[in-house]
Structure 1
């Protein structure tokens, strides 16, 4: 499986989030506490939005995140108010750059932790459901990227929650036809440059870990001596596979079978169920 971070809020240097917290993403790549694997070294990727770009930039590599000099260089010089970071542990597909997250199409970013069970058996049927106008843009061989293109096919750009629900419904229906008891395991982050959606769902009702950060005004009241909280706006949020530290009151578990929206003016949390 994998570990990931999604950040939305006050523009900061990527390094402040990726390297400075106690249990940062680099530490998680070597010593994951909640993942299926302790080590996540089968590639990494970051994707970020800036005010000057209509589409997000991405940097992906097949090497482990803990010793990549390009990641260090970019993270210490790029400032963004909405970015993704992902470290990969393959579930069977090749270790190659096109299989590293996040995936991008136009202004949209997508990253995933989990798996489609028995993907090698279901892949062809699922791939045939992708809009032919989109199919040629699939570059890699992962279930994660195929899930992205299925969501795009089902209307991600107009209705992200509905599109992800229809994608999940198709995966489950296809899996059940092939005798797969629990076809889908996912925590997914998707963004359009202004809003961030995060989904937690699994067919077996026991999904991979996912947490969101507490409101900054509440954190300041709890930890008035924490210097790093002073320069960040109240609407700043992080959604993470694992908490980045042990600061009491900082992290809340995303409920099972739910999704959240992080957006200017107010966040929201909703129940999530696949759709036919």
Structure 2
């Protein structure tokens, strides 16, 4: 499917996690160990927040991540305290720039791994549930972008957990009416530059992999000679599809059917229970 990561902490060069790590995101684009597909070569994207900018910046490209020279240059040049990066393995929709994650609306960035099953059959009905004032901002053709705009319709900016539960509830309701037994399999990330929220959920209870870093303060005590751990700061959080390095105690797997919220170094779990009500 896809692989993604989201980071919040001290400003670091993006190449630290995109290229330098033992099992970096670029390495995962060719050699994913936990993904549904080994190769994720249908485009790449990253979004990052900078001081004095109302909206996050983005770089997206349809080239495979391992073959994008400009990406390597950009990742070396950009330092950011908060960013999201994504490598894509396409399902049902073409490899084009507007289909590359992360998607953006205002201060929000959104990335997704997984799929809405039989999406071409349910696409029209789902899109008609998007608020009319948001519809004009849809650029691509992916199920991921539709999920993002449904979440915005249901109040992502006010209450991310409720909005995402209503989004998935609608997708499951529509899918099952079309005879789809297990409409959704997903891990998703959404951030406004202050908080990062993530969900691991699937209709069949067998979701794609998702992890987050354990306390960097604790990791610094375990690995005092590791400069990468020291650089990110004690309050850093990294949420990701696959661990970047094989360090005992560094990673925690996010449980099935869980909504996770990370803010100022604190990570909280909540049950994720899709709900449906008539739009």
User: TM-score normalised to the size of structure 1?
Assistant: 0.98
Structure 1 residues 90, 265: closer, same or farther in 2, change over 3 A?
A: closer
2:130 and 2:236 map into 1 onto residues whose CA distance is 35
Q: Does 1:117 align with 2:103?
A: no
Match of 1:166 in 2: 166
Match of 1:71 in 2: 71
Q: Does 1:148 align with 2:148?
A: yes
Q: Does 1:247 align with 2:247?
A: yes
1:269 and 1:228 map into 2 onto residues whose CA distance is 26
Match of 2:205 in 1: 205
Match of 2:58 in 1: 58
Q: Deviations over 1:25-82 (max 9, x none)?
A: 0100000011111100000000000112110000001010002111111111111111
CA shift, 1:107, in A, is 0.5
Match of 1:48 in 2: 48
Q: Deviations over 1:71-128 (max 9, x none)?
A: 1111111111110000000012011000000000110000000000010110011011
Match of 1:7 in 2: 7
3-state SS in 1 of match to 2:232: coil
Match of 2:131 in 1: 131
3-state SS in 1 of match to 2:73: helix
1:120 and 1:47 map into 2 onto residues whose CA distance is 28
CA shift, 1:224, in A, is 2.1
CA shift, 1:231, in A, is 2.4
Q: Does 1:275 align with 2:275?
A: yes
Cα RMSD between the aligned structures?
A: 0.9
Q: Extract unaligned runs of 5+ from structure 2.
A: none
Q: Extract unaligned runs of 5+ from structure 1.
A: none
Say which is worse superposed, 52-61 or 230-239, in terms of deviation: 230-239
3-state SS in 2 of match to 1:166: helix
CA shift, 1:244, in A, is 0.5
* Total equivalences in the alignment: 276
2:24 and 2:146 map into 1 onto residues whose CA distance is 28
Q: Deviations over 1:230-257 (max 9, x none)?
A: 2221110100100101111111100000
CA shift, 1:265, in A, is 5.9
3-state SS in 2 of match to 1:230: helix
Match of 2:16 in 1: 16
